[in-house]
Amino acid sequence: MNKVQQGFTLIELMIVVAIIGILAAVAIPSYQNYTAKAQASEGPVLVDGLKNPVAAAIADTGDTGCALPVGSAATGTYVATVTVAGTAASCKIEATYKAAGVNTKIQGKKYSITMANDGSAPVCATDLPAEVKPSGC
């Protein structure tokens, strides 16, 4: 009488576990970079949202006092504060990421744009790591 084989051998099961381990070792860091980049994108969105009110304030007052209309301050899920500061020649809008509750790659980091009152294009600056830095900066 022939014996019918049922189930998997120990070697086959160990090979499957090894393949899953290799896939997890590759996927987890990629996923962490993906979530960090998604969280970091909130800073540029909030800062860009204040560019028009600041530009309008500069146009109205003729200087870079960086006065903003009431209610234009911004915070977010991953951004702790957005500050606006000015000098005689330029206005800087800066987003600071939260120190807790965010990916460790962006904790406490900053993203800013500086707008000169001469009408030149805004200049971006950040201390975010290269793998999560916004592409336009």
pLDDT (tens digit per residue) in 21-32: 999 999 988 888
As to burial, measured by CB atoms within 10 angstroms (0-12 exposed, 13-18 middle, 19+ buried), residue 118 is exposed
Tell me which residue has tokens 């896939």. Answer: 23
**Two tokens at 77?**
């899920």
For 113, the domain range is: 36-126
**With contact defined as beta carbons under 8 Å apart, do 48 and 82 qualify?**
no
**63 found inside a domain:** yes
pLDDT (tens digit per residue) in 80-112: 988 888 777 778 889 999 999 899 999 999 999
**121 found inside a domain:** yes
Tell me which residue has tokens 């504060």. Answer: 81
Question: Average pLDDT over the chain, rounded to whole?
Answer: 84
Q: Write the CATH number for 96.
A: 3.30.700.10
Strand partners, 97: 79
